[in-house]
Structure 1
Amino acid sequence: MPENPSFRPAPRWLARPGARAWRCAPAPDGVRDFHAALPGYAPTPLTELPSLAAESGVGRLFVKDESSRLGLPAFKALGASWAVHRILAERPAGGPLTLVTATDGNHGRAVARTARLLGRSAHVFVPSGVHPGAVAAIAAEGAEVTEVAGSYDEAVQRAARAAEGPDAVLVQDTGWPGYERIPGWIVEGYSTLCAEIDDQLAAAGVPGPGLVVVPVGVGSFAQAVVTHYRSRPVPGPAAPALLSVEPETAACVLASLAHGVPVSVPTGDTTMAGLNCGTPSGLAWPHLHGGLDAAVAVTDADSARAAADLAALGVSSGPCGAAPLAGLRAALTGEGADERRTALGLDATSVVVLLSTEGTAANPHAHADTDTRDA
């Protein structure tokens, strides 16, 4: 794991000129076809919200609504299902196999659901601070759940040790030296979401987004988004700006970008439980460092307000899913907003896509947050 060097504290906002020129290899073919063949697959909605476009001073604004994906209230099933498919394709048929992972909630439930559908066992390690309702949802999928009296990083370490036996495999959505193939497959699985957005924008008469806003935990989902938009040939559609959003209490990617190297940060309590991660994925880091145009950190209050506003507009979004709207607002308001708008390349004609990665059903904190704000 990266250590935390003695650098200055990270700011709440960081812009990185030149990211739109960075290029990487694309995701492999066949991922979306695999998902399309799964029972219950359908593209999730891309909902246009004109009132938020007007508030933000842009031409059009869309929210990718992942409140229902393959029977679960978050996008994580895309990565878990593809990774487990690849794992089983490389193992001899038959014999017991336990899928092991650590989670802040949604990934663990997706692994547990995938295991249950395939008749496999699952063992999920959950760090301190995850809501009991999220833990219960994982257990309801038939998984063995071990609660760890420590951080997400500590839960990952426990899961890795538990998966060392011959009849177990670690299905973790963060990578480090020596553990990269399976996290890479999880990232590949997320590419289906981005491919759906391409089709949905085209159907709406939009050639492509000008800005995509993505919530970040360890950065694996952001890696998939960077891969999708930074693997396109030049010349081609203008590359969009990519903005990452994290909780102020766990802004490990923002800190790492500010320092120029991966660093670990202490984490605190946050209702954005799925983003409460202290160390960037080593596999994701080159993509985040190369391809993100900007990063911003937001508070729980920012996220709660965004979730309530999305709910009023008909979009179910938990605290993590609402973080992109909170991040967009943080970027476009307050002192220095004009400079931040320029850094993101936004004007009155821009198209913005917010990636709402979970619905309220994925995060029991969501209802409490809304109630607190209304009080």
Structure 2
Amino acid sequence: MAPVLDDLYLRPAARTWRCPPAPPVADFHRALPGYAPTPLVELPALAAELGADRVLAKDETRRLGLPAFKILGASWGIRRALEHGGAARLVTATDGNHGRAVAAVARMLGLEARVFVPAGVHPAARAAIRDEGAEVVDVPGPYDEAVRRAAAEPGLLVQDTAWPGYEDVPRWIVEGYSTLFAEIDAQLGGAPDLLSIPVGVGSLAQAAVTHYRSGGAASTTLLSVEPDTAACVLESLRRGRPVTVPAGRTIMAGLNCATPSSLAWPYLRDGLDAAVAVPDGAAARAVHDLAALGVPAGPCGGASLAGARAAGDLARGTVVLLITEGADANPAV
């Protein structure tokens, strides 16, 4: 069992764990209309605060025309799924950004999309999905219930969480996220010392683990950050098995997930160096501070800074904060 210091989970053995690499998908993304690497923004004021050499924000607030990174996974996952069989309608469940990305790809391909949205998602996020041409189905329950409703719906299910018997499409979605980490390394000229990763079901963190644990030297410390009201990965790490936590409410709506992805879990269990849960107040403060520095983060993106602050001495060397969504993706603060 790895040690736990207050609310910070640590697993020293993660640094030596290895896994196979993701297939190269960057060429696919480069061919998409409007593709460009998202900025890596230097934040010297935060470096001074944290005692790090450098702090940089990977700013995903504008990715292929959307205010979040999710279209990287949705576009690749849908392409691979359609190669295995056609579909007239795409179906998914979402806390906001994934559903909007699926809807956008459906619109590009001339397909219908039906998106199941749980309670607690801001009306503006629902409207943004509709504006992409998708049908939105409101679910009066948590994210897990929206996933169950979507999985029972006719059409091609494009879900970014996995469960036994449903893992191919989530695997392709995770592969799509690898472009983000390849961009970071190219922009830095090497790997960061600490990567702070906002976590819902764990798919983005799985992609980070795959990228940084599949090479030779794996020097990057991987920190997962969750809302303290929905810390399913942190609780699963503490118990040594995947668990479902009670559904809560949080301004970090895109991270409000109660159960880790079954596909992500082995990677998170073995490849994460650290995990922490942060309260809404810490995320709101981070959003405010990032905005003052010119980074328009939403609450999920702000979680990465809140997590780095909570990680104490782990935030040393070159620190990269994943700003996974813009303020207009979830206008909660």
Alignment of 1:97-112 (within 5 A): 97-112=88-103
Q: Hey, what's the Cα distance between the residues in 2 that align with 1:11 and 1:139?
A: 42
Alignment of 1:262-273 (within 5 A): 262-273=242-253
- Alignment partner of 1:239: what SS? coil
Alignment of 1:193-272 (within 5 A): 193-202=180-189, 207-233=190-216, 236=217, 238-272=218-252
Tell me which residue corresponds to 1:309.
289
Tell me which residue corresponds to 1:284.
264
The residue type paired with residue 351 of structure 1 is: T
Tell me which residue corresponds to 1:357.
324
The residue type paired with residue 158 of structure 2 is: V
Cα-to-partner distance string for 1:38-85 (whole Å, 9 max, x where unaligned)? 000000000111110110001111110000000000000000000111
Q: CA deviation at 1:269?
A: 1.0
Q: Percent identity?
A: 66
Q: Hey, what's the Cα distance between the residues in 1 that align with 2:82 and 2:199?
A: 28
Tell me which residue corresponds to 2:69.
75
- Alignment partner of 1:14: what SS? strand
2:157 to 170, 175, 178: 170
- Alignment partner of 2:229: what SS? helix
1:191 aligns to 2:171 (yes or no): no
Q: Hey, what's the Cα distance between the residues in 2 that align with 1:324 and 1:129?
A: 21
2:273 to 276, 293, 315: 293
Q: CA deviation at 1:310?
A: 0.5
2:16 to 21, 43, 46: 21
The residue type paired with residue 21 of structure 1 is: T
Q: Hey, what's the Cα distance between the residues in 2 that align with 1:331 and 1:353?
A: 13
Q: Is the 8 A contact 1:245 1:298 kept in 2?
A: yes
Q: Hey, what's the Cα distance between the residues in 2 that align with 1:228 and 1:208?
A: 10
Q: Hey, what's the Cα distance between the residues in 1 that align with 2:123 and 2:248?
A: 17
- Alignment partner of 1:145: what SS? strand
Tell me which residue corresponds to 1:126.
117
- Alignment partner of 1:130: what SS? coil
Q: CA deviation at 1:208?
A: 2.1
Q: Hey, what's the Cα distance between the residues in 1 that align with 2:69 and 2:54?
A: 23
- Alignment partner of 1:286: what SS? helix
Q: Is the 8 A contact 1:215 1:355 kept in 2?
A: yes
The residue type paired with residue 283 of structure 2 is: S
Tell me which residue corresponds to 1:181.
168
Q: Is the 8 A contact 1:45 1:65 kept in 2?
A: yes
Tell me which residue corresponds to 1:153.
144
Tell me which residue corresponds to 1:89.
83
Q: Hey, what's the Cα distance between the residues in 2 that align with 1:327 and 1:254?
A: 13
Q: Hey, what's the Cα distance between the residues in 2 that align with 1:48 and 1:267?
A: 36
Cα-to-partner distance string for 1:203-246 (whole Å, 9 max, x where unaligned)? xxxx321111100000001000010000012xx3x521100000
1:60 aligns to 2:54 (yes or no): yes
- Give the TM-score taking structure 2 as reference length: 0.97
Q: Hey, what's the Cα distance between the residues in 2 that align with 1:322 and 1:105?
A: 16
**Highest Rg: 1 or 2?**
1
Q: Hey, what's the Cα distance between the residues in 1 that align with 2:215 and 2:120?
A: 40
Q: CA deviation at 1:186?
A: 0.3
Q: Hey, what's the Cα distance between the residues in 1 that align with 2:48 and 2:184?
A: 21
2:126 to 135, 157, 177: 135
Tell me which residue corresponds to 2:26.
32
Q: Hey, what's the Cα distance between the residues in 2 that align with 1:355 and 1:177?
A: 29
- Alignment partner of 1:301: what SS? helix
Q: Is the 8 A contact 1:12 1:248 kept in 2?
A: no
Q: CA deviation at 1:20?
A: 0.7
Q: Hey, what's the Cα distance between the residues in 2 that align with 1:240 and 1:271?
A: 29
The residue type paired with residue 109 of structure 1 is: R
Q: CA deviation at 1:11?
A: 6.0
Q: Is the 8 A contact 1:64 1:354 kept in 2?
A: yes
Q: CA deviation at 1:12?
A: 2.6
